[in-house]
Chain A
Amino acid sequence: MASTRVAVDVGGTFTDICIMDEETGELRIEKTSSTADPIVGVISGVERAGVDLSQVSMFSHGTTVATNALITRRLPRTGMVCTEGFRDVIEIRRANKQDLWDTYKDVAPPYVPRRDRLTVPERIDASGKVITPLDKDAARDAARIFKRRGVKAVSVCFMNAFVNGENEKQMRDILLEEIPGIAVSISSEVMPEIFEHERFSTTVANAVLSPVVVDYTTRLGDSLAKKGYSRDLLLLHTGGGVMTPKSVKDFAARLAGSGIAAGAIASRHIATLCGYPNSIGLDMGGTSTDVSLAYEGVSRVTKDWYIEFGYPIRFPSIEVLTIGAGGGSLAWFDEAGSLRNGPQSAGSNPGPACYGNGNKTPTNTDANVVLGRLGTSLAGGELILKADLSTEAVQTGAADRLGVSLHEAAEAIVKVANANMADAVRLISISRGYDPRDFALVAFGGAGALHGAAVAQELSIPVVIVPPNPGVTSALGCLLVDIQHDFSDSFMVDSASTTPEAIEAGFQRLEKEAVARLVHEGVAPEDITIGRSAEMMYQGQWRSLAVSAPSPVTDVAALTARFHVEHEREYSFRRDDAPISFFRLGLKATGLVPKAKLKEHKPESRKPEPKLFRTVWFDEKPHETPVYERDDLPSGFTFKGPAIVEQFDSTTVVPPGTSATVDKLLNILIHIKGA
């Protein structure tokens, strides 16, 4: 009988595997090095963990395969068919630059180079009328040329296709006739939204990724099936849900941020279980830190999202801010003599100086070793850090330059890293109208728990949550999600000239599509839930604001009233005299996946002994500090900082002046005094 759930998160350095017993809610973790072909690492990790795949009821997976393919441009040759006269929409973009002043910093090139963008005569006007039918001969020529060039996918991007996709569909049919089996993405299906660049860019990303992720999911699915797994492989998408391989071919770009979303979901879930529906996730790894935010138990989602500036992917995506601050980030001095930290990183090879692989520049890890915050034996003794090399790097690379003591220099390095992370948290919280004091900080990733408390102190965040296995928290995120798809359709009409029936009909069209897709993925109709939203704006405005909509819609005025309220909440003003327009209708369709409950541990009165005492530096002073083994800490245990907690995949720093408790899910909660 199937009773185990497995989640796998493939990162740049490690592949994390999280195994959950459905009956007991107990978790096990396995960590293995990521491999060039990620599937090798996944399978060997699963084997190492001794999982019998025939007993697995759910295998879910977050992957960076799509993200990496886009960034490195290791993409299959892909064609694009455009309306005649509009070959360069994805190269013209919106023509703006990310860096205002640096004339030597360029926007990245488009995913499909100009040579592989062909045009055909066809045109649809703004109202959806076909003013030039598709030239079938030209269409066939284009298909034939792509076939000769051996392209693996084609995107079809026609002007105004969001109102009428007929010409795009005809083009697709011709492509499929000429190149049977080729992956075709058409803009009217991938992202039926006004504004050509944003729609085409999403469609092109979808097309270039389709062969990549289809190949990957097919191979992974086959490998798992060979080992006895009999259910659908679930893939985490950027919107924070999972989808099955059946949807991957058509919506490949939804996986563009798969790996990034996992941590955000896990962070939100853990914080909610701890009673903190408002939480900020701080996922610090070897080279970078991902920051995310959940408010009232809901992750912030954005449609203004991209992997690289200039190439939007308009699928709703969990908002994650990534900065170049990780354990391996290098400390350096700029031309003005100011101490900087990252974004350059020593990575895992050569890694920090203390790895002894030749790097002599101090990293955050080296500074933490010097300060005694990090022990010298990691990963259960598999990785021995050479403290003398850290000392040498910090002394020559920072202390000598600053003219301060070794420990002052190490603290300066850590402080700059913490300030950079605090800035990222400010951007995602304060600049979005959220006060960090109302939030809990969830510190995870290999290095998150080393720095989390200090970041919280900087921002007056009252509590830091360190999950039981900080290093594999992202994998846990993959276990906690439902099958979820987002649907939207243009609905551009004045509120005064529409009816509840028209709005209801629009929603029902979307719902039909949504239910069909979920059923196709094997979701039982009774497990489907649907959330509606209507995007509206004051007539004359250019951006819309989404408000939730009831089912069924019976009253237009009730919707516009909701819009006034939301507009005032979001932008602190409303215009009751101004007419309102509808812009778009949206659906979030969810296929519920039964959730297993994490195991709860009864509080114990046992007081664990520190395994040792070590000199740890805080505020330029040495402190004799107890070092605990995480596995020894029972539910209900309360202790005071300074303290260090060590475990297989992470080290937690509890600074002086704070106190910590272990809760029934074995999270460590660090309470920041005065915050």
Chain B
Amino acid sequence: MSAETNFNGLDPVTFEVLKNSFITSVDQMAEQILRTCYSFVIYNRDFSSALHDAEGNSVAQGTQDIAVHVGTLHFTCKAVIEAFRDEMLPGDVYAINDPYAGGTHFSDVRLIRPIFDEDDIIGFAQSNGHWSDLGGSVPGSFDVAAKDMFREAVRITPIRLFHGGRFCKDVANMIAANTRDPRSIIGDIHAQAQATNVAERDILRLVKKYGRKTVVDGMAAVQDYVERAMRHRIAALPDGVWETVDYIDRDPAAGEGMIPIRVKMTIKGDKVHYDFTGSHPTIGSIYNSAPGATFSAVAAGMKTFFPDLPLNSGFYRIFDITAPENSVVSAQWPVAVTGFLMPFEKIMNSIYEMWSKILPERAISCSFNLEYLLTGGLDARTPEKPIFMFYDWLPGGWGGRNGKDGCNVTTACFGTGLMAQPVEGQERVNPVLTTKFEIKRDSSGPGKFRGGAGVEKASILLEAEKTVISYICDRERAVVFGTNGGLPSMPHGLSIYRAATGKEEWLGSVFSDVSIETGDIFSRPTAGGGGFGDPLERDPERVREDVIDDYVSIERARKDYGVVLKPIDVELGEYEIDAAATKAERADIRAKRQAWATSDPQAISDKYKAGELDAMDAVRRYAVILDWDSGEVLPETTAQFREMFQKRTAAHWRD
């Protein structure tokens, strides 16, 4: 028997049965939540559930859970145990949403139930859901201008919501009263509390069948199993040190220049160490991550390279983290952290990049940046003018891979179970009409294996009053990057067409509380994934196929891939590859591209302002980052971007 098939004294069949039963019990919680929840955010699968042992360690996650939550659930469970250790009763349910105690952000509210077998606690069931609103200064509780938590939302430190089965109406009502959507909040409390009840029943069924000791041993065994398997695999890899840096676009409270997140990974024996030394201090926006979320980002990034193992606390035992105090990856109370997903995804993509070198068969380039849009005000379509909150998020392109293009229009990497919302549902409940929700042509980062395609969504505000719009995104400047010679994709950012002036305004990737009027059209793309490998090595036949499907335009086929196509019959999708012209075009690009990527940024800015080139040309060809509205060069940002471009892209060209 190998090290991976010894199951803490349980026979292999019992072990297998319990392992699967634990996961099934968590999935049953998910099923119940989906069917009974009120928050549409939860309904679109922004939730997760977990089963914990009596110490609060995670035993099992659900099969469709959000990655970002999973790595933090054991922290909040332990925080609740700490607070109520000797006072817990059967039928109790506690709530917590505290990012400074290991949570993610205030919107993610966790309900936790102790599982009693007779008089003893043998475990906990936790249900975490993203509530539609938790108060604060803007609808949806995402104020990007907040510098501390007092403007953000209600902070829930561990509280009791059910006392021995009795609903603590007073406490629940007080929380609900501090939000814009009290009825949904009470509904979701019931839905989540009942979901934890489902897991409790299931675990007690197992206790009845196998006995308490076997079930409790099983909870330990599944963690030990994952730990052993991981140690086994890490030990089989050569020791070494890998380093990389990724950036947040800016500190709105400071000058131009991107905010570095530095990661150094050391593999030694059967352990992995992640060191964030050199990462920037916390910044003057909500784009900071508290230690719990950073931990979860590391876990999620690394887990991606070991997809076959279950995720539980056993996995967490094989790595540790060093992070400088009060840095953008280790914010403390009361620094604002609601936008923690911005550093989170940078950490994930950094970890992808380092592990791609160790396990090239799973290599992947950078994926698009998640984005949230919130528009809220009064819906004036009916005389009652109720409050509305249009809260939207989009899928985008994932990075190109080793031997495979990236996935088109996929949900953000922080949680691949999250679902895009149906436009028809949005239009029923909001005074918003969507005019376009479609794949964005040429959004993919070019590469031998291109990134997946992003999308473009445009919506018009119908009859509404007192309406403001906020946007939470990034990678307008730290543009989605390619690797192994692949090119970046394109900048993120939102623009508004103003009905009153007939003009389009570029608002970029981070703003809040901007007024918006009836008839205004707000639109934004999501980036495609970064390319993998040199685009000049892409098979021209694949470029032709992409043009037939209109993922790539005939113009950019030439610019990005050096592939020259002649339209024969566009209606029938017939294009011919001009082999001679393609050969010449590719030779020409090879001869010039190193010089392009180091040319004077000012000249690029001038051409951009004159309309002679666009943002895709600027980032892909010249590695220049501009203020996309004014066209001015961002010198510090461009220098940082070019350093990355040289290392990840230009250095890999065999020109």
Residues of A bordering B, CB below 8 Å: 85-89, 91-97, 99-107, 113-115, 125-126, 131, 145, 148-149, 159-160, 162, 194-198, 336-338, 415, 419, 422-423, 426-427, 430-431, 492, 538, 540-543, 545, 570-573, 575, 578
A106 to B400: give the CA distance in the assembly, Å.
13
Nearest CB on A from B309, distance (A):
9
Please measure, in the bound complex, the distance between the C-alpha atom of A573 and the C-alpha atom of B196, giving whole angstroms: 13
Contact in complex: A100, B424 (CB < 8 Å): no
Are A101 and B423 closer than 8 Å at their CB atoms?
no
Distance (whole angstroms) from the CB of A314 to the closest CB of chain B: 13
Q: Using Cβ atoms and an 8 Å threshold, which residues of chain A touch B307?
A: 99, 101-103, 105
B240 in the interface, Cβ–Cβ < 8 Å? Answer: no
- In the complex the two chains form, what is the Cα distance from A14 to B492 in whole Å? 55
* Complex CA distance for A538 and B183, rounded to whole angstroms: 11
Q: Which of B13-21, B286-294, B581-589 contacts its partner? A: B13-21
- Tell whether A100 pairs with B37 under 8 Å between CB atoms, given A338-B4, A572-B197: no
In the complex, what residues of A have CB within 8 A of residue B16's CB? 419
B405 closest partner in A (C-beta): A106
CB contact between B424 and one of A101, A131, A159, A427 (< 8 Å): that residue: A159
Taking CB as reference atom, which chain A residue is nearest B32? A571
Q: Is the CB of A103 within 8 A of B364?
A: yes
Tell me the complex Cα distance, A578–B418, Å: 28
**Do residues A92 and B424 form an inter-chain contact, with CB atoms below 8 A?**
no
Tell me the bound Cα distance from A87 to B311 in angstroms. Answer: 38
Q: Give the complex CA separation of A595 and B24 in angstroms.
A: 40
A310 to chain B, nearest CB (A): 11
Residues of A within 8 A of B20 (CB): 423, 426
Interface residues of B in 58-116 (CB under 8 A from A): 63-65, 67
- 14 further contact pairs, Cβ within 8 A, besides A197-B422, A573-B36: A92-B439, A92-B455, A94-B44, A95-B410, A100-B416, A102-B307, A103-B362, A126-B428, A131-B433, A160-B427, A194-B424, A338-B4, A573-B190, A575-B190
A196: contacting residue among B1, B422, B572, CB under 8 A = B422
For this complex, 13 residue pairs linking A to B, each with C-beta atoms less than 8 Å apart, are: A91-B408, A101-B306, A106-B404, A126-B424, A149-B571, A149-B572, A149-B573, A194-B428, A195-B425, A337-B4, A337-B5, A538-B187, A573-B194
Partner of A541, one of B2, B21, B187, B438: B187
What 10 pairs across the A-B complex have the smallest Cβ distances? Answer: A95-B395, A336-B4, A85-B436, A542-B43, A102-B307, A101-B307, A337-B2, A94-B419, A95-B420, A126-B427
Among A100, A159, A545, max chain B CB count under 10 A is at A100
**Which residues does chain A contribute within 8 Å of B304, judged by CB atoms?**
101, 103
Are B437's CB and A114's CB within 8 A?
no
What is the CB-to-nearest-CB distance from A607 to chain B, in angstroms, rounded to a whole number? Answer: 37
Chain B residues engaging chain A, CB cutoff 8 angstroms: 1-2, 4-5, 12-13, 16-17, 20-21, 24, 27-28, 31-32, 34-38, 40, 43-45, 63-65, 67, 183-184, 187, 190, 194, 197-198, 202, 205, 229, 232, 303-304, 306-308, 311, 362, 364, 395, 398, 401, 404, 407-411, 416-420, 422-425, 427-428, 433-439, 455, 458, 548-551, 571-573
Decide: B38 and A541 in contact? CB cutoff 8 A: yes
CB neighbours of A198 from chain B (8 A): 422
CB-defined contacts of A93 to chain B, threshold 8 Å? 409, 420
Assuming A97-B410, A99-B307, A541-B37, is B2 touching A426 (CB within 8 A)? no
A100/B428 contact (C-beta < 8 A), A88-B439, A95-B411, A431-B28 known = no
Inside 8 A of A103's CB, which chain B residues have their CB?
Answer: 304, 307, 362, 364, 398, 401
CB atoms of B64 and A88 under 8 A apart: no
Distance in angstroms from A421 CB to nearest chain B CB is 13
Is the CB–CB distance between A431 and B35 below 8 Å?
no
**Smallest CB gap from A418: residue in B:** B13
Task: For residue A377, give the distance in angstroms from its CB to the closest CB of chain B.
Answer: 33
A-B contact count (CB 8 A): 184
Complex Cα spacing A337 to B433, Å: 56
A99-B308 Cα distance, complex, nearest whole Å: 10
A92 touches B437 (CB 8 A): yes
Name the A residues within 8 Å of B398 (CB-CB).
103
Given known contacts A91-B439, A431-B31, is B362 in contact with A195 (CB within 8 Å)?
no
A430–B24 touching, CB < 8 Å: yes
Say whether A427 contacts B411, CB under 8 Å.
Answer: no
Q: How far is the CA of A145 from the CA of B410 in the complex (A)?
A: 30
- Tell which of B65, B404, B435 touches A100, judged by Cβ atoms closer than 8 Å: B65
From B364, B416, B549, A115 is in contact (CB under 8 Å) with B549
The CA-CA distance from A427 to B20 in the complex, in Å, is: 10
Interface centre among B420, B458, B551 (most CB of A within 10 A): B420
Residues from chain B with a CB closer than 8 A to the CB of A96 are 45, 64, 411, 416-420
Q: Which of A115, A125, A198, A426 lies at the interface centre, i.e. has the most chain B CB atoms within 10 A of its CB?
A: A115
Bound form: Cα–Cα A99–B229 in Å = 20
A116 CA to B33 CA, complexed, in Å: 38
In the complex, A541 Cα to B39 Cα: how many Å?
8
Which chain A residue has the least Cβ–Cβ distance from B411?
A: A95
Q: A496 to B425, alpha carbons, bound, how many Å?
A: 22
Interface contact B433-A125, CB-CB below 8 Å = yes
Q: Is the CB of A92 within 8 A of B187?
A: no
Indicate if the CB atoms of B187 and A100 lie closer than 8 Å: no
The CA-CA distance from A437 to B354 in the complex, in Å, is: 51
Contacts of A99 in B (CB 8 A): 307
